[in-house]
Amino acid sequence: MASRSPSMRTESTSTVETVQGTHSFKITDYRLHKELSTDKCFCSAIFAVGGHNWCIRYYSEGQDPRSDFVSIFLQLTDLSYDLRRLLESEEEADVTFKVKGEVFRAHKILLAVRSPVFKADKTVEGMDPIVFKSLLHFIYTDTFPVMEDLDSDEKEDMVKHLLVAADTYGMERMKLICEGILCKRIDVESVAYTLALAAQHHCIKLKNACIEFIISRNRMDAVLASQGYEYLKRACPDVAVELWEKAAKSFMKRSGPNNI
């Protein structure tokens, strides 16, 4: 008869050390900040607690642009700060991009982790250097680039270019941020162009926001007279048909069956 093996008992202890710290983050001229901030995110200065660097991130419209809430995060910045410094210094960079004559150096492993397209392909085509630089900034820091030196129209154009880049390289969070920004910048002159952009890059929320803007408040005639609508018909004829169908349904709903 085989003898029983002696039972073994082990144990371990998880010890949590707590530290306390206080940082006061005051946003002055809040309305002006909100107008200038592209992704509605305000960041505090970096402060140290417990041997680590932190910052407070406040999103006036929520981190997810699809939500209706504000968001407040306590972010450990050691890594994002180091990655930003790594991008700027180009230290140990092992891949080079030449974008319309301008050279950018980056790190293959970071690109592969952040973008499934970069993981498979290391080429860049049809992108302006300033857009590619902003894309790299987001890849390394997960924050939207600051655009304080651009006017309102330039900011909108940049966001549209970044949306295209985000869709091209599989950067879904960046794409959502761009989509949320553009949803709040719709006007009669540009809405048809934006609708075409949304359709071409599979932005459902932005597409629906554009259609709702057009068919509400009797804007249809003004949009039809715009150059953007002519472009929409050529580039996305199926979306133009969808627009007319939804406009007809909206008209019938407002008029009622007895007034048709």
Structure tokens at 17: 């050390």
27 pLDDT band, cuts 50/70/90, is: confident
Domains of the chain with CATH codes: 186-254 (1.25.40.420)
CA-nearest of 155, 132, 142, 27 to 80 is: 142
53 pLDDT band, cuts 50/70/90, is: confident
Question: Is 80's pLDDT higher than 80?
Answer: no
Q: How far apart are CA 151 and CA 184, in angstroms?
A: 16
CA-nearest of 153, 212, 211 to 185 is: 153
Question: Is 258's pLDDT higher than 70?
Answer: no
Predicted local distance difference test score (pLDDT) of residue 45: 84
Question: Is 151's pLDDT higher than 80?
Answer: yes
Average pLDDT score over the chain: 85
Q: What percent of the chain has pLDDT over 70?
A: 89
Question: Is 259's pLDDT higher than 60?
Answer: no
pLDDT in tens, 176-201: 999 999 998 899 999 999 999 999 99
11 pLDDT band, cuts 50/70/90, is: confident
